[in-house]
Amino acid sequence: MSSPIGSDSSVLFSLGWNDAFAAELPTGLIPARVTRVDRGAAEVLSADGHFPVHYSAHVRRAAAADPVDLPCVGDWAALRRLPEGRFELEALLPRRTAFVRGGVGRVSRGGLSGDSQGQVLAANVDVVFVAEPALHATDTADLGRIERLLALAWESGGLPVVLITKSDLIGEGLDFLMEEVATVAPGVDAHAICSITGEGVEIVRGYLKGTRTAVVLGASGAGKSTLVNALAGEAVMEIQQVRAGDGRGRHTTVHRELIPLEGGGLIIDTPGIRRIGLYDMGEGVDMVFSDLEALADRCRFADCGHDSEPGCAVLAAIEDGTLPERRLESWRKLQREAAWMASRSDARLRKELQNKWKIIHKEMRKPGRSRP
């Protein structure tokens, strides 16, 4: 067992481990994936099992200087085995993707939430499911909410996929709805699913192949939990049995926030991700409105406001019916919000939000990191 990966590397691969992460692992340290964090400590899954770890002085110092450096669910961590047999979280491996809460925390600073700035809610998420019910109470799917969540999804660096949930509730209108959804999600896969009958659930599972990690974003009641349960199947029950079995000396019931699914793949489900709101969506907004951006490139004036300018390609597209007018309105609305958020963030935070890769580059500059 001299391998730094531990006794059973297939366990690691089932948690999303791959060659790219392996190349970043400092020599002599043990890889583990963070399943949950709780004030100064984390729980991890590794080839050696599921256990709590404390942060090294190095991690604590870095996190005190910048909360973005705090471990979060989904992170790959490098652990050091201490002489007494315990493990310490020594370093974080560079994040491939990250959900960063910035704007909301800033705005509510001094309020009750006590949120910190630039806090990372989840890391290394490959697929972001945007769940919107076909019918929510008596309202049909909210296209504006889909656009907003797509902006967050793009911003994270993960691959967005729209899921119209509760497809059973809408009947014949479904085809029309899916056509509308396609107009607000250019270049994004969209599927109708029903977690109760299981319709479409296999399609969702397909996105997790290759042990990908996903999150499900969506409003309260969108059907996130029902979908996760449908995907998790017996895996969730298995986890509960293991927990009951190793309950020796551990009296707190732990809700694991990184859930390995039956048939492969993982879902991150944390209160933070459930409550994710809006923050600086600058880059994400452009991705969501790529159809509009492409049209705007063809406007006669580079600074066209698409109001009444001559030669405006956007207005022409609305005129001839190829672009729904509400699409331009949504674009304006989200841009206003993004600008408003930006005006409220300080320069440091704004930079962080606008460039998700900065996190990765900063990680790479850390001392003690082995390079391939």
Q: Which residues are annotated as a binding site for GTP?
A: 165-168, 218-226
Candidate residues 223, 260, 265, 282; the one interacting with ligand GTP per rule CB under 6 A: 223
Tokens of residue 83, six digits: 């002489």
Kindly indicate which of the ranges 150-158, 273-281, 299-307, 361-369 contains the residues binding Zn ion, using the contact rule CB under 5 A: 299-307
By CB under 6 A, residue 104 contacts ligand GTP: no
- Taking the least distance from each CB to Zn ion, the nearer of 89 and 312 is 312
Kindly indicate which of the ranges 18-26, 85-93, 114-122, 194-202 contains the residues binding ligand GTP, using the contact rule CB under 6 A: 194-202
Candidate residues 29, 193, 261, 304; the one interacting with Zn ion per rule CB under 5 A: 304
Number of helices and strands (H, E) in the chain? 16, 15
What's the closest the beta carbon of residue 75 comes to ligand GTP, in angstroms?
A: 23
- Taking the least distance from each CB to ligand GTP, the nearer of 91 and 230 is 230
- Taking the least distance from each CB to ligand GTP, the nearer of 143 and 228 is 228
By CB under 6 A, residue 221 contacts ligand GTP: yes
Candidate residues 12, 149, 190, 299; the one interacting with Zn ion per rule CB under 5 A: 299
By CB under 6 A, residue 247 contacts ligand GTP: no
Lay out the site mask for ligand GTP across 269-298 (x = CB under 6 A, - = otherwise). -----x------------------------
By CB under 5 A, residue 224 contacts Zn ion: no
Candidate residues 12, 127, 314, 328; the one interacting with Zn ion per rule CB under 5 A: 314
Local structure of 189: helix, strand or coil: strand
What's the closest the beta carbon of residue 46 comes to ligand GTP, in angstroms?
A: 29
Which pairs with CB-CB distance under 8 Å and at least 24 residues apart come from 318-323?
323/291, 323/292, 323/295
By CB under 6 A, residue 183 contacts ligand GTP: no
| Cα 216 from Cα 161, distance rounded (Å) | 10
Tokens of residue 211, six digits: 């042990």
Candidate residues 36, 148, 166, 191; the one interacting with ligand GTP per rule CB under 6 A: 166
Residue 251, φ and ψ in degrees, nearest 5: -100, -15
159: left (phi over 0), alpha (psi -120 to 50) or beta: beta
263: left (phi over 0), alpha (psi -120 to 50) or beta: left
What's the closest the beta carbon of residue 261 comes to ligand GTP, in angstroms?
A: 16
| Cα 160 from Cα 153, distance rounded (Å) | 6
Kindly indicate which of the ranges 37-45, 188-196, 200-208, 276-284 contains the residues binding ligand GTP, using the contact rule CB under 6 A: 188-196
Tell me whether strands 266-268 and 139-140 are parallel, antiparallel or unpaired.
Answer: unpaired
Local structure of 217: helix, strand or coil: strand
Q: 356: closest CA among 97, 101, 142?
A: 97
Kindly indicate which of the ranges 45-53, 85-93, 260-268, 302-310 contains the residues binding Zn ion, using the contact rule CB under 5 A: 302-310
| Cα 180 from Cα 163, distance rounded (Å) | 13
Contact 30, 87 (CB under 8 A): yes
- Taking the least distance from each CB to Zn ion, the nearer of 232 and 314 is 314
| Cα 36 from Cα 254, distance rounded (Å) | 9
Q: How many residues bind Zn ion (CB under 5 A)?
A: 5
What's the closest the beta carbon of residue 226 comes to ligand GTP, in angstroms?
A: 3
Contact 264, 207 (CB under 8 A): no
Neighbours of 342 (CB within 10 A): 18
By CB under 6 A, residue 165 contacts ligand GTP: yes
Q: How far is CA 368 from the centre of its chain?
A: 28
By CB under 6 A, residue 218 contacts ligand GTP: yes
| Cα 343 from Cα 109, distance rounded (Å) | 15
Annotated binding-site ranges:
165-168, 218-226, 299, 304, 306, 312
**Residue ranges that bind ligand GTP, judged by CB under 6 A:** 165-166, 168-169, 194-196, 218, 220-226, 274
Instruction: List residues binding Zn ion (CB under 5 A).
Output: 299, 304, 306, 312, 314
